[in-house]
Structure 1
Amino acid sequence: VGSSGNPQKLVILFPHACFILSLVIYAFLGALMFSHIEGNRKVNLSEEYRKFLQKLWHISRNLSENEETFKEEIHVLLNTAERDWFVNPKDRWTFFGSLFFCCTVFTTVGYGNTYPVTRIGKYLCMLYALFGIPLMFLVLTDMGDILATVLSKCYNEFRKLQSKILASKLCSGSTCNKGDELKSRAQTKVVINEPLTIMEVLKSQPGVKRRQTKYRNAEIFEMLIARENERRKPAINKSIERWSSCPELDRGKTMSRVIENFDKIGQQLEKLDVPIVLMVLVIFVYISCAAAILPNWETRLDFQEAFYFCFITLTTIGFGDTQLEHPKFFLFFSLYIIIGMEIVFIAFKLGQDRLIGLYKKVISFCGKKKTPSKKVYPK
């Protein structure tokens, strides 16, 4: 049994692993592409760069005692500067830097710290995002269904355990024995009746008895035909209806099991009934764990700044105000980012369902108040 169960588990996990593997391969291919295009570009120092240096030299030479005027002039001058003048493309567009850029593209975070400058790089970035964002959403949906299944099962098991503990506390020995006796008596009184035939059902109905014989025979004949048709109908598996255009998939037992598992997992997100307070606590603990680890290599960040950065990342806001010194270490948290996005998505889904339910209650309450009461006039 164990040897036959392991291949089935591998077949079930194979599509999920393919989704994640395809996203990883897509990210690596994008990193190779952008590191080659943007990293090998030549930086041409234009006439604006020379003007910028002349103005900077002029302001620094004519430095007066008025610091406010100096700050304003420097501030205006720095706004005209381009970052490309002072950054070597090969230093910024390394393989890990390009990989981090690709992850910010298809996760829709978009920090803005790194962006393509060349025209070819911009066109390829749009094309890369066009295919990468749907692939990322597919992985998020698949992982979200699995995570929702795990959360729902854990929460249901916790509720069952809690109910058992409460029942054991409230149930005394005498009351439990009385309940068992009542259950045994009730089970002895159960009588299983065989189902009636169509003739017996029709004979028991007074409306059928009053009708003429030919009409009764016609009705009995129609009911017999309807019951026979119901028996002959094959059991249609809803999970394989989508593959009806391909009969080879219907014949395979393995593929049908995989599809059934997909359907079962997909329904767990709708059945998930976890309190929002618990989900907020899970998100807080989840972000706190990363915020405690991140300052180990990002020395400029403390716990609060790291917590803020992780929250901005998982919610895909991505202001870009916090720049990482070592983004390649943060890439090891890619699985953390995906799972964290799933948790935030589930929390948003639960909050949305609660708000919709509250909105429906308010609308129904206001509708009941506005509808006038019907007056009953005596006849």
Structure 2
Amino acid sequence: MAIDRGRGGSMRQSQMSHNYQYEKPLGEKVKDCCRFTIAFIFSNVGVCGLMVGYTFMGALIFQHIEEEKTNRTVIINPEEVRDRTIQKLWNITIRHNVLEYSTWNATVTTIVCDYQRDILDLLDKGWDGKSDKPVNKWTRQGAFLYSLTVITTIGYGHIAPKTDEGKVMTIFYTIVGMPVFLLYMANMGDILAKSLKWTYAKLCICRRPEAKFDTSVVWRSADATLRAPGGPSSYPQDSERAMYNPGLGSEISIDTASWSGGQAEEKPDLSSVNIPISVSLVIMGALLYGGALLFREYEKDWDFLTSLYFCFISLTTIGFGDYVPGLRTGDSYNADAGFIYCSIYLMSGLALLSMCFNLMQEEVVHKVTACLNAIRFFKRRETD
């Protein structure tokens, strides 16, 4: 009975301990939440979301700052400028008549230059050449493109802050945004590079016939190396040995753990596949060509060379600003759609460009390492 009571007591004690679990204090919960949030932000999905969210936040801020200032202060009256210029020309013509041609010519030239400056000032304020109301460049799409071009250091210059608040905000926004963009480029380049490696390995490498080696040739070479003064230290590793066969003229990689029936079966590692430089160049060319077709189709007054030039200047972050989508005037033209196309092309194109640069760098390092290993191998054979 004592044993039974002891068992019952232990069971009740375990149930009580199960019901009254340890509850973390508030400080520990806050720390765990912060650690989880930081880990998610610096993950691949978190970095992409951070990039898009930060750019969208900047667009809302700049739109709020600049749009109110523009709508409140800008007054567009092109007819007044035109009528004033015509009246000046008429007065000068009556005063000097055609007999004083030199004086009349000099005065008219000054008046026309003033008229040109007035028109340029109206265009800078947002006049599209037709309506008397200024064109609002600080729409949500235009502000998003401005925020994106600022942190990517492209900076077209087609839209810029006019207020002191907007200029100060641009400075602080860029200081924080440039590290976010660099982190986005690194993560997206790594993700796309791994995806391309996996695809390339599945499509190209895994379809090749299985490599089969002449075991007698390999083991004769291995015995000769074992009897060399360098001994077993001349092998790169014990499980994977690299031998150079002069008869085959190439380096043979043998995995001793995969030998079965006197043959070696090659199993490529999909994560360590090197993409040829030609593949990266093809992707970069396709990126430029596809962008040129897109902007030529949307921007009717751009030819193919102009569109290709714009794509190259944008992806290299030069950004002269002489050609910018969304600035063409017309009744059927949607400037906001041009801003959206440009923003999507920049975000995806810069990520693909980062991927190509990473793959090309890995391929160059691989080639240089292979050349150095070959040089060391031949020097070792000469010394042996």
TM-score, normalised relative to structure 2: 0.52
- SS where residue 91 of structure 1 aligns? coil
Cα displacement (A) at 1:330: 3.9
- Is 2:17 the counterpart of 1:16? no
Counterpart residue number, 2:27: none
Q: Distance in 2 between matches of 1:308 and 1:98?
A: 24
Q: Please say if residues 291 and 307 of structure 1, whose CA atoms lie closer than 8 Å, have aligned partners that are also in contact.
A: yes
Counterpart residue number, 2:184: 139
What one-letter code is carried by the residue in structure 1 that aligns with 2:353? V
Counterpart residue number, 1:120: 165
Q: Distance in 2 between matches of 1:123 and 1:13?
A: 27
Q: Distance in 2 between matches of 1:357 and 1:16?
A: 26
Q: Distance in 1 between matches of 2:157 and 2:273?
A: 36
Uncovered stretches (5+) of structure 2, i.e. residues with no partner = 1-38, 94-100, 128-132, 213-258, 264-270, 327-334, 373-384
Q: Distance in 1 between matches of 2:346 and 2:337?
A: 14
Counterpart residue number, 1:215: none
Q: Please say if residues 60 and 143 of structure 2, whose CA atoms lie closer than 8 Å, have aligned partners that are also in contact.
A: yes
Name which structure has the greater RCO, CA cutoff 8 Å, separation 6+. Answer: 1
Match of 1:344 among 348, 353, 364: 353
Match of 2:54 among 20, 26, 30: 26
Counterpart residue number, 2:137: 92
Q: Please say if residues 100 and 328 of structure 1, whose CA atoms lie closer than 8 Å, have aligned partners that are also in contact.
A: no
Q: Please say if residues 188 and 355 of structure 2, whose CA atoms lie closer than 8 Å, have aligned partners that are also in contact.
A: no
Cα displacement (A) at 1:17: 2.6
Q: Please say if residues 274 and 363 of structure 2, whose CA atoms lie closer than 8 Å, have aligned partners that are also in contact.
A: no
**CA pair 277-160 structure 1, distance change in 2 beyond 3 A:** closer
- SS where residue 319 of structure 1 aligns? coil
Q: CA RMSD in A?
A: 4.7
- SS where residue 57 of structure 2 aligns? helix
Counterpart residue number, 2:63: 35
Q: Please say if residues 31 and 98 of structure 1, whose CA atoms lie closer than 8 Å, have aligned partners that are also in contact.
A: yes
Counterpart residue number, 1:229: none
Deviations 1:94-151 (A, max 9, x none): 2221111111112221111111111111000111111112112212111111001012
Q: Please say if residues 141 and 339 of structure 2, whose CA atoms lie closer than 8 Å, have aligned partners that are also in contact.
A: no
Counterpart residue number, 1:220: none
Q: Please say if residues 104 and 111 of structure 1, whose CA atoms lie closer than 8 Å, have aligned partners that are also in contact.
A: yes
Q: Distance in 2 between matches of 1:165 and 1:302?
A: 50
Q: Please say if residues 283 and 356 of structure 2, whose CA atoms lie closer than 8 Å, have aligned partners that are also in contact.
A: no
**CA pair 349-145 structure 1, distance change in 2 beyond 3 A:** closer
Counterpart residue number, 1:109: 154
Uncovered stretches (5+) of structure 1, i.e. residues with no partner = 1-10, 168-182, 188-267, 364-379
Q: Distance in 1 between matches of 2:48 and 2:163?
A: 30
Q: Distance in 1 between matches of 2:261 and 2:275?
A: 38
Q: Please say if residues 97 and 328 of structure 1, whose CA atoms lie closer than 8 Å, have aligned partners that are also in contact.
A: no
Counterpart residue number, 1:375: none
Equivalent pairs counted in the alignment come to: 250
What one-letter code is carried by the residue in structure 1 that aligns with 2:73? V
- Is 2:311 the counterpart of 1:310? yes
Deviations 1:196-238 (A, max 9, x none): xxxxxxxxxxxxxxxxxxxxxxxxxxxxxxxxxxxxxxxxxxx
Cα displacement (A) at 1:323: 2.3
Counterpart residue number, 2:285: 284
Deviations 1:62-86 (A, max 9, x none): 89999xx969x85996599545455
Q: Distance in 2 between matches of 1:184 and 1:55?
A: 95
**CA pair 59-336 structure 1, distance change in 2 beyond 3 A:** same
Q: How many percent identity over aligned positions?
A: 28
Q: Distance in 1 between matches of 2:135 and 2:161?
A: 13
Q: Please say if residues 20 and 139 of structure 1, whose CA atoms lie closer than 8 Å, have aligned partners that are also in contact.
A: yes
Q: Please say if residues 56 and 77 of structure 1, whose CA atoms lie closer than 8 Å, have aligned partners that are also in contact.
A: no
Q: Distance in 2 between matches of 1:119 and 1:184?
A: 76
What one-letter code is carried by the residue in structure 2 that aligns with 1:28? F
Q: Distance in 2 between matches of 1:286 and 1:351?
A: 16
What one-letter code is carried by the residue in structure 1 that aligns with 2:297? N
Q: Distance in 2 between matches of 1:85 and 1:102?
A: 20
Q: How does 1:60-79 map to 2 (within 5 A)?
A: 74=113, 78=117
Q: Distance in 1 between matches of 2:47 and 2:286?
A: 27
**CA pair 273-134 structure 1, distance change in 2 beyond 3 A:** same
Counterpart residue number, 1:156: 201
Q: How does 1:316-327 map to 2 (within 5 A)?
A: 316-325=317-326, 326-327=335-336
Q: Distance in 1 between matches of 2:361 and 2:164?
A: 41
